[in-house]
Amino acid sequence: MTTIRFTCMFAKQGVVVVTCARYYAAVRLLHTSDWHLGRNFHGESLMSEQSEAVDRVVEVAADADVDIVVIAGDLYDRAIPPAEAITLFSETLIRLHEVGARVVAITGNHDSATRVSVASQLLELAGVAIRGDVARCSQPLLLDPDDDGPVVAIFPVPYLEPSIAGPVLNGLAKPSSAENGDRPRRLSHHEVTHRATNIVRDHINSKGPFRTVVVAHTFVTGGMTTDSERELTVGNIGHVELSTFEGFDYVALGHLHRSQEWNDGRIAYSGTPLPYSFSEENDSKSVRIVEMDAQGRCHTEVVPLEVGRNLRTLRGTLEELLANVDYADAEQARVRVILTDQDLPLQAMPRLQQRFPHAVELRHDPEGRVAPGGSDVASAVRSGTTPLELALRFWTDQHGADPSDLQVAVLQDALTAASKEHHG
């Protein structure tokens, strides 16, 4: 039997140790992130599916008999989450505690660091660490698995807003870790993250040896994005180089919503437990079970969650989509429809929702239509074209085809009526 000690390092209060028992030598972590509790999908609440997703996380944690559940930020979808989201999160922490897992969570860019991490030091007495205070990034959670290897040190690094985190990190850094010529200026995400990880390295060098786990919420350069992330900054200046995380045994990342990894799985995003945009339609949502041996080597298993409503994108004419039996499997999915009818049918969305009740997005992309160019219309305006000719050119430019004789007649009648009204 192996004893696991969960040690909380407080700045002033000393050390608190919580013990539990495991019947294997390796340390097991469950890595998840970006729950975004309280999020909507095209105006439809996801609370019931998010409840199903966290149920599955608890189930996986229990089945894998993990020591630690790591949640790498964006616990909620907004700084002031709805009450039901807070209740769900609280109940989930209790259930994880009941199955024997400790919890290490950080705040993300969607979270309020102050609200989420309230009473954090008190919660750590019960084995639940929720970190939003940048000043505590050098205070690890320590696990002593008694497996002939060094203590496992987990360093929770919350989302670092440069204007706020920069001055705090400057105050924590040793002279050897500070940037040369520090001046009051706005730092980039890469710079503040680099400073935070250097502070972690200073702690490891002075207090170690450790097996190290860093939990961070950031955008690693080269990461695959989806349509559901919030930009940290404009352009690429919010990106953090992979080299920032060199030397750590495992880096549990949050922010990007797609599961992905680097360096043989040593640096990884778990991704969201549910898809939050149609760009994630074909993603397999999952968590990661990381088993760390006495030498700090990690073996990772990606465990699919397979919960929540599926997403489907359907393309075709309205009649095809309403009649085709091949689309029966989409009837209970959230559906994005791209209609290819030459003219957008009347009441298209209500008619689609009779078959696909969870259709939430409709686009019109007629087959064979030429993309609007605008050059002919612009030249027609400059050349003093008659109102009818101008209207017909605009029609052709927007629809990619000439109007029918009936449509020409309707336009002519409308212009005639407008002219009479204008001239009295």
pLDDT of 21 > 70? The answer is no
Q: Which residues contact 393 (CB under 8 A, 6 or more apart)?
A: 376, 377, 380, 385
Among 23-32, 97-106, 370-379, 384-393, the range scoring the smallest mean pLDDT is 370-379
The backbone region for 335, taken as left when phi is positive above 0, alpha when psi lies in -120 to 50, beta otherwise, is: beta
pLDDT tens sequence across 40-86: 999 999 999 999 999 999 999 999 999 999 999 999 999 999 999 99
pTM for this model (two decimals): 0.82
Residue 183's pLDDT is 53
In this prediction, residue 189 has a pLDDT band, given cuts at 50, 70 and 90, of confident
Residue 17's pLDDT is 42
More confident residue, 142 or 411: 142
Among 161-170, 201-210, 319-328, 410-419, the range scoring the smallest mean pLDDT is 410-419
pLDDT tens sequence across 237-254: 578 999 999 999 999 999
Phi and psi for 399 in degrees, rounded to 5? -100, -10
Residue 232's pLDDT is 67
More confident residue, 300 or 376: 300
Rounded to whole angstroms, the Cα distance separating 115 from 124 reads 16
Among 128-137, 297-306, 403-412, the range scoring the smallest mean pLDDT is 403-412
120 and 129 Cβ atoms separated by less than 8 Å = yes
Rounded to whole angstroms, the Cα distance separating 237 from 246 reads 20
Cis peptide leading into 209, omega within 30 of 0? yes
183 and 152 Cβ atoms separated by less than 8 Å = no
Q: Which residues contact 260 (CB under 8 A, 6 or more apart)?
A: 223, 224, 268, 269, 271
DSSP assignment of 22-46? ESSSSEEEEEE----BT-EETTEE-
As beta bridge partners, residue 19 has 5
Percentage, residues of the chain above pLDDT 70: 83
Tokens at 202, concatenated: 């200073």
Nearest to 408 by CA among 422, 387, 423: 387
The alpha carbon dihedral of 271, 276, 282, 286 has a sign of positive
More confident residue, 34 or 232: 34
Residue 399's pLDDT is 67
DSSP assignment of 352-391? HHHH-TTEEEEEE--TTPPPP--HHHHHHHHTT--HHHHH
CA dihedral (213, 215, 216, 222) in degrees, to 10, reads 60
pLDDT of 6 > 90? The answer is no
Rounded to whole angstroms, the Cα distance separating 380 from 391 reads 10
Tokens at 281, concatenated: 């339609």
